[in-house]
Structure 1
Amino acid sequence: MLYREGIEYGLLNGLNFIDTAINYRGMRSERDVGYVLKSLIKRGSIKRDEVIVSTKGGIIPGDIEASLVPSDFLQKVLLEGEIIQETDVNSVDTHRHVLAPDYYQFAIDTSKKHLHLETIDIYYIHNPEISMMVLGPTLFYTQLEKLFSFFENQVQLGNIKYYGFATWFGFLKDPTEKGYLSIEEVINIAKKVAGEEHHFKFIQFPLNKHMNEGILKQNQQVNGKWVSVLEAAHELGIYSTTNAPFHLGKGFDGASDSRCMLTEVTSTKGVFSTMVGMKKVEHIKENIHILQGV
């Protein structure tokens, strides 16, 4: 209930960008977002085109309503339902990730139902660095080409508008480290699939005072020059959204408050939008005031 109250308050008081994922809270997050969107749009309180909605797939989800944890969901729904095969699953520790287009067809259809939307504005491949760690660059980028072809078709069908990568450490690592992702290589594949009119237009990565590699570390190569993640995205014509501005709550160390941390990130040149995890109305009010400069 807190999430629904918070989403409704935010949408009615100036927030216009919602970011979620099929695996958040055992699918409950998408369902809560969809419940509020459907209600507000039906009442005429907001219009669909006034809100950007992004969601993600790739990490094996659970389903809290069906009492399925991710391992059970993988077995009973995805494997026994013949949506994917065991060889499609790339595992690192407890993390399970897939790049198989059939999975994303299932995930997009499921997310659309949860969100009560005909079209998802931005669809992210969630933490693709997991699959990169297992597959290595050659096989990863080969599979990515097939997946991008699928996404471009999803755009043509009207199921999504744009697609991209939502990462944790993939774009921030050194190029020699396992799991490193090259923005230029990803865009080259998108161009190979769909030319200059491709729809890979968004990336997401953490940015806060503890994880500032995205603006300080020159680990991305574009046209032979080493630049930061933000600079690379700009050079390649894609938008940078960031997450974890409070470092998953660990940023509150007494040296900085929420106003300073959020303002620092949102005022960073090149940041299109910042994702803040919120459920209590009091926190949403506070963060809206910060963004409004109140």
Structure 2
Amino acid sequence: MRSSCQKSCEVVPVCKDSLYDPWKGLATADGTKLFSVMYPGAYDAAEQHFRRDPAMGTYYVEGQQMRGAPWLHLSSLGIGTYLGDADDATDVQVATAVVASVHKGWNCIDTASNYRSGRGELAVGYALRSIFTANVGISRDMLFISTKAGFIADDIADNLLLKTEKYGGISKGDIVGGNCIHPNCLKSSLSRSLAAMHILGIDILYLHNAEESQRAQLGDKAFMDRLKTAFEWLEKARSQSRIQAYGMATWDCFRKPVEEGGLQLQKVVQLAESVGGKNHGFRYVQLPINAGMTEAWEQRYQTVEVDGTAQQLTFMRAAARLGVGVFASAALREGALLQDSSLEAKLEGMEEFRGIQGYGARLLQISRSTPYLSAALIGHKKAGHVLQNLELTTHNPFSNETFSRVASLLRQATAAV
């Protein structure tokens, strides 16, 4: 890994490749559609492996409003880059897994500024270089790349605190629980992320667990004020094509009721509308969705006004109604579900999973089949796990009817325990 270069992020030296200019562009409707139909790795993909992105139009829910650009075509499975040691060997594993996944027809790549102490983004950058320089027909506009900002790196924090807000820095009060969504922090974090991946634009920049880190300490009003200020900066970054959209990467704020501290998605969307108008850039949420964390599809915790009437909806239904795409994280609950031998036996006995080999792949099939989902993310690295998960590309996600039946069987089995 290169150790220094010009201060392209205006914070600290970062890596810069002297042989290649950064790759330009963002995911486009034409590029993602071309990837879904002509790239050799997609030839064997099941017919419904690719989906038209629900954040872009009216495909899923009657009455949902068209939001800006034409449809993106996204793979129902995407690669995450969260877990693993911060070492060279893991970098190689992650980069290799990203390359293998893209070549097999996965065009969603997710990372974050703090994954593996910043090495997650660097590994994605290595993979992208391999993909784009291999002359196999894959271009930047075919891939949908997301990262996250919020958990501020120590060197960036130190630099911005020294500057103070008057000189483009921040104050100590802007960092809550190690998390900062001040515009100056977001600017520095995004610059470093782009440099690490050697690209000029990100398709989604998520605010990373901002609610979970800050809301309880700040209170609702102060947190929403900070969120609005962040959205204002994100809209500016969007107008400069540094990002295509923004969102919130969350853990539990959308998986619990209001009385337990849950957040209402419509209020966040309305906040974005107050900043960016009807065609605002708040288009995505990431949250855990798996066989053990079923709130997003099962619990009606979200209140959404539909034609002047308040309706209680599941998070997935509310997101679709509000034009927000959803990415599922923690498909294996960070490996915890793999230790559940009882659940493994239940899935083994279900007819719906016939032909899907491996317990991990069956769990991933549940997450990716969630109604209204954009894609399910999986952070595979080991060759055997990568190959097993990639084989799932040849299977269609469950239909809504089959998913409902599987969810019901899981509920019955859990209730019987």
Assess if the C-alpha contact under 8 Å between 1:9 and 1:281 holds in 2.
no
- State whether structure 2 residue 339 is matched by structure 1 residue 247: no
Letter in 1 for 2:366: E
Q: 1:230 aligns with which of 294, 304, 316?
A: 316
Structure 2 unaligned runs (5+)?
Answer: 1-91, 345-358, 397-417
Q: Does 1:259 align with 2:361?
A: yes
- Percent identity reads 30
The answer as to 2:201 corresponding to 1:119 is yes
The answer as to whether partners of 1:55 and 1:122 remain within 8 angstroms in 2 is yes
Q: Does 1:181 align with 2:263?
A: yes
Specify whether residues 272 and 6 from structure 1 end up closer, same or farther in structure 2 by C-alpha distance, changes over 3 A only: same
**1:90 aligns to what?**
176
Match of 1:54 in 2: 146
| Higher strand content, 1 or 2 | 1
Q: Are 1:292 and 2:356 counterparts?
A: no
Equivalences for 1:1-294 in 2 at 5 Å?
1-45=92-136, 46-61=138-153, 72-73=154-155, 76-80=158-162, 82=164, 83-91=169-177, 96-129=178-211, 130-178=213-261, 180-223=262-305, 224-252=310-338, 253-254=340-341, 255-256=343-344, 257-293=359-395
Answer whether contact 1:128 1:170 (CA < 8 A) is retained: no
Residue 363 of structure 2 aligns with an amino acid whose one-letter code is: M
> Mind listing any 5+ residue stretches in structure 1 that lack a counterpart?
62-71
> How far 1:88 moved relative to its partner?
0.2
Deviates more, 1:29-38 or 1:256-265: 256-265
**Which of the two has higher C-alpha Rg?**
2
TM-score normalised per structure 2: 0.65
Instruction: Give me the CA root mean square deviation.
Output: 1.5
Under a length normalisation based on structure 1, what TM-score does the superposition of the two structures give? 0.91
Q: How far apart are 1:81 and its partner, in Å?
A: 5.0
Displaced runs of 4 or more, over 6 A: none
Amino acid at match of 2:293: M
CA contact (8 A) 2:304 2:312 kept: yes
- Contact 1:216/1:228 (8 A) holds in 2: yes
1:76-128 Cα shifts (integer Å, max 9, x gaps): 3442354321010112xxxx111211100001111100111111011100112
Given that 1:58 and 1:97 are in contact with CA atoms closer than 8 Å, whether structure 2 keeps it comes out as: yes
Q: Which has the higher contact order (CA 8 A, sep 6+)?
A: 2
Q: CA deviation at 1:58?
A: 0.6
Aligned partners of 2:99 and 2:130 also within 8 Å: no
